[in-house]
Structures are given as C-alpha cells and as structure tokens.
Amino acid sequence: MNGANILIQALKHEGVDIVFGYPGGAIMPVYDALLDSGIKHVLVRHEQAAALAADGYARVSGKVGVCLATSGPGATNLVTGIANAFLDSVPMVAITGQVPSHYMGTDAFQEVDIFGITMPIVKHSYIVRTADDIPRVIREAFLIARSGRPGPVLVDIPKDVATAAVSAWGFGPTEYEPAELAPIEELESAREMMASAACPLIYAGGGIRIANAVDAFRRFVEATGMPVVATLQGLGSLPDDHSQFLGMLGMHGTKAANFAVQGCDLLICIGARFDDRVTGKLKEFAPHARVIHMDIDDSENSKLRFVQCSLRGNIKISMDALHVRPEIQEWVEKCYADRTEYAWRYDAPTETVYAPAFIKELSDRADTDTYISCDVGQHQMWVAQHYGFKRPRQHLSSGGLGTMGYGLPAAIGAHFAMPESRVIVISGDGSIMMNIQELATIKRYQLPVKVVVFDNHGLGMVRQWQELFFEKRFSEVDLSDNPDFAKLAEAFDIPAITVRLKSEVGGAVRRLLEEPGPLFVHVLIDPAENVWPLVPPGKNNSQMMEATV
C-alpha cells in the first residue's frame, strides 16, 4: 500500500462510489490507484466542472460530493466550484495533487498554495504530510464536510506522499454529531411568541433540505396553519401547490410573499440567513415582526437581523417541539386573497416564445421525478417563479455565489446521483457558454441529460439592470455573435431543435419529456423581456417594480 492506494481505500470506507475529476502530473499516482479501485471516475473537460458536478451530485443524493484535480491550474480551476459549495452549504471533499514536499515553496512547475488560496471558502483544509495520515485525514474531512452546517473541505496531497509506503493503517468508526435540542427556555419563548401572534409567517430556507428535514417541516406547517414563503434554495420544501404556500420572497419574489413579509408580526426563519437578495433594504425588512430563528449554525443568529428567539441546534427536533396553532384566520384570508389577486398570468399577446409560459408548461407536464438544474440569470429567476417544485432536491441552483456555468455540470452530477430520473438543464445564451465543453461529457457517457437554452442574444439580467438603473447605457451585454447552438450541439452528436414560435412550445416540451437520450432545445425569446416583479436596490420588499405596458 502506498499513499494513493490508501486514499482510495479511505474513500471506499466513506461509501464513495463516484468521483469527478481531471488528471495531471501531481495527482497521477491517485489516478493510477483509481484504475483497479471499483470507484467510478467521471472525466469532465474542465476542473471547474468537476467541482460543480460534485456539488450537483451532493445536492441530489444528500451524500458528500468528491472531486479530484492536479496541482497548479488544476487546483485553481476548482476554486469557483469550492466557493459555490461553501456559500450554498454543500458537502464536498476536494482532493488536489501537490508538487513533492521538498519542492513546496520553491515556485516549482505547477505549484500554487491551494491551501492558502481556498482558506476563506472551505470549512477546513489539510496538507497531508505523511502517507500514514491519509486514513485519519479523509475520515475527518468527510465528517467535517457533512456535519453541522455542511460545506467543502480541501485535502492537498504532495506527490511524494501519494507514492510513499504506508507503514500501518486502519479506519476508525465514522462519527456523527448527536442531534441537539434547543434549550428548553428558548423553546418556551418560541411557543409563547407563536401563541400570541396575530400575523405570523414561516420563512423557509435551504437548511430544510440540507438537514433532511422536509417531513418535519411539513408537519410543522400543517400543525401551525401559518402561511409560508421560501427562499430560492428553500423552494420545494413545501409543494408549490400547497394551500399555505405564498411563493418565493425577495428581489424577484411574488407580490403575495413580499407583502406578507412586510405585514407579518412574527417571522419564523427556518434554515435561512437573511440574504440581501431576500431582504431588500434590511432596515425595512419585516418591520413589524419579532423573529424566531432556527439554524444549526449559531453564527447566523442575529448576524444580519436581530432575533428575539434563537433556536440553536437540530431544526427537525425544534420544529417537532413547536406545534402551536394560533388564531389567525383573518391574517390567513388576507394572505390567500393576495395570492389569488396577484397570481401569475401566462397569456402574453405575442406569437414568439414567452419563457415563463414555456417553463410553466414544462412544469405542468413533467413528473415529480424530474430534476431541474439552472444556470444564473433571468432564466434562473423564471424557473424559481414558474416551475412548481414538489421537493427541494428537484431544484439545483447556484444561490450564494451566482455561478454562471453551474447548470450543465451540476446536471451531470445529478444524473449520476439519480440515474433513473429525468434531468433537465435550463440555461441562457450567456451562461451556457461558460461550461459548454461539458457537452463532451454528455456525449462520452451517453447521458440522457436534456438542455434548454433561452436565447435573447445577450446577458439578460445585466441588460435589464442597465436598462432600469443605468439610463439604458448598455455596456458589453450583446451576445448576438454566439454560435448556432443547435449546430454546436449536433457537433457533439446531441440531437437539437430550435424553437422560435409559441405554437412550437408544446412539441418541444413533449420531446424534452419523451426523448430517451440527450436533447438540446434552443429557444429564441424576446431580447427586451425582463423578469418581474423586481425589488430595486435600496428599496424594501413592498416597493416592487412591475412591467409597464
């Protein structure tokens, strides 16, 4: 056994059966050990895609995603994916090769201090100094990645450590943090606040999915009878058609959700962090509300918004301890009346494709075993607004970092997590070009991943902001010289269609749902179409801008 062999054994001990990566000099001993390991390796075409695929795999499976890269540019190409996982609390272990120990610090070929570079964007990091340390380091890395508030861990292995003989090795038991109940006095305070509230509101975040707390959350919602709003990452925690759900809140949230936030007198925040895209003008966010905050990460409590009751620990246990149902019929009726009054409309008077209507039709016809992987931009917000998610793991979206190019590699990871399920990428003509080389990965492994690209010949979200807030001074948002996407997909042996008219949408959706293999759907939309409503910078969530006709 050398270090690389024992690394593989350590990964198998953690239950790893798939890794995403790209080989190179310093990581070559590990790739040699992979050959006979039984662990499936997915060769992506860019290391960033390896990290994003591991991210997508982790979000869908609930397991720790693993990515591999060599030293130098291989390691630095992982950085965006590591940061993405860090900001969205995704469990990941990133393993990088490093130059031999005696060359470290000498500016050797393909040497970078990846330990230092990633310090702000990992939960923990290691430079392995001896091969004997590898079993302990890997066990700790996986424990840290998946415990508490999950996140990425970096393991940097010098090449001489990977080739060194291991004198003795063994694996101890995998440890888990015990489930924690919030202090009794805090639970009692929360119960009193809930019982006395006249206008309470539940604010659901991505922590519900991360904690595998969906069932507990739904029990809590049913027991309390309170209206619910969700963040981008919290969508699907409650089915979109649930009678108590008002929609997504925040910058591009529904009017019903945002009005409820601004009018509530008690806000119960579960697994969310008061992100700026949610709160708008923070000083005026939920201005009349006392706040109960449930989160595994105590550092989030009162970080941005002062909370009157902080429920630290396991949110599943906290929710099950708080089945309090106040008398709130008048408030509930107002919230539901707003939801009806401000419901979405899809009757755009045009013969061209209206992206929200396309997404709504796809949502209505897809089964609940369909996974949607988004890129970042206008299409991302349209998906959040108009696709009806029934479970949170159905929805893959880069929230905290807003990573263009996320959708395609994340979908590849999602497919390997759930190979019998349908996976659809929804992207834009800007985002898809960020990692379009991963069409080669789809081709190589014959993945039945579908890709929808909404093409408005520009960087739509940036253009929208330049239109609204920069006096229509459009700067570097024209993408009209992009390639013919259908022909490009066909060059990768992926069938492709182009959709130009509203009348063609039904057939395109049918093919997306029935095509047995991969499919690329290029959808042309109006370059002037914007995402509405929009809470402008410096405004509160009740001050939403809407389309003017």
* Residue 182 pLDDT > 70: yes
Q: Given pLDDT bands bounded at 50, 70 and 90, which one contains residue 548?
A: confident
- Is it true that 184-341 and 355-524 share their CATH fold? yes
Nearest to 225 by CA among 265, 194, 247: 194
Half-sphere CA count of 21, side-chain side, radius 13 A: 25
- 94: phi then psi, degrees, rounded to nearest 5: -105, 120
- 336: phi then psi, degrees, rounded to nearest 5: -75, -30
Q: Given pLDDT bands bounded at 50, 70 and 90, which one contains residue 367?
A: very high
Lookup: tokens for 328: 């709130």
* Residue 178 pLDDT > 70: no
Lookup: tokens for 395: 């929805």
Known catalytic residue: 109?
A: yes
Among 99-103, 179-183, 289-293, 389-393, the range scoring the smallest mean pLDDT is 179-183
Which of these is catalytic: 12, 28, 110, 539?
A: 110
Nearest to 177 by CA among 153, 144, 207: 144
* Residue 382 pLDDT > 80: yes
Nearest to 383 by CA among 401, 371, 369: 371
Beta bridge partners of 309: 292
The one-letter code for the residue type at 390 is K
Asked whether the beta carbons of 211 and 193 are under 8 A apart, the reply is: no
Q: What percent of the chain has pLDDT over 90?
A: 93
Q: What is the pLDDT of residue 177?
A: 58
Q: Given pLDDT bands bounded at 50, 70 and 90, which one contains residue 174?
A: low
Which of these is catalytic: 404, 434, 461, 544?
A: 461
Superfamily grouping for domain 3-163: Thiamin diphosphate (ThDP)-binding fold, Pyr/PP domains (3.40.50.970)
C-alpha dist (Å) from residue 343 to 247, 255, 465: 10, 9, 24
Distance of CA 341 to the CA centre of its chain: 31
CATH 3.40.50.970 fits 355-524, yes or no: yes
CA distance 170 to 132: 10
Q: What is the pLDDT of residue 190?
A: 97
538 CB-contact burial (10 Å; exposed 0-12 / middle 13-18 / buried 19+): exposed
CA distance 288 to 308: 13
* Residue 306 pLDDT > 70: yes
- Report the pLDDT averaged over residues 434-439: 98
- Report the pLDDT averaged over residues 85-97: 98
Known catalytic residue: 285?
A: no
| DSSP secondary structure string for all residues of 225-293 | ---EEE-TTTTTSS-TT-TTEEEE-STT--HHHHHHHHH-SEEEEES----HHHHSSGGGSSTT-EEEE
Which of these is catalytic: 9, 14, 20, 47?
A: 47
441 CB-contact burial (10 Å; exposed 0-12 / middle 13-18 / buried 19+): buried
CATH topology assigned to domain 184-341: Rossmann fold (3.40.50)
CA distance 359 to 348: 14
* Residue 549 pLDDT > 60: no
What is the pairing mode between strands 496-499 and 450-455?
A: unpaired
| DSSP SS3 for 470 | coil
* Residue 179 pLDDT > 60: no
Which of these is catalytic: 63, 123, 159, 450?
A: 159
Among 85-94, 339-348, 433-442, the range scoring the smallest mean pLDDT is 339-348
Please report, for the chain, the start and end positions of each structural domain, with discontinuous segments joined by +. 3-163, 184-341, 355-524
Q: Given pLDDT bands bounded at 50, 70 and 90, which one contains residue 172?
A: low
CA distance 350 to 280: 33
CA distance 107 to 14: 34
Known catalytic residue: 47?
A: yes
Q: What is the pLDDT of residue 184?
A: 86
Asked whether the beta carbons of 352 and 501 are under 8 A apart, the reply is: yes
370-392 burial: b if 16+ Cβ within 10 Å, else e:
bbbbbbbbbbbbbbbbbbbbbbb
CA distance 213 to 330: 29
CA distance 71 to 94: 12
Alpha helices in 329-478 (DSSP H): 329-341, 355-365, 378-386, 407-417, 439-445, 460-469
- Report the pLDDT averaged over residues 149-162: 97
Q: Convert the pLDDT of each residue in 437-464 to its tens digit.
A: 999 999 999 999 999 999 999 999 999 9
Region at 431 (left for phi over 0; alpha for psi -120 to 50; beta for the rest): alpha
* Residue 211 pLDDT > 60: yes
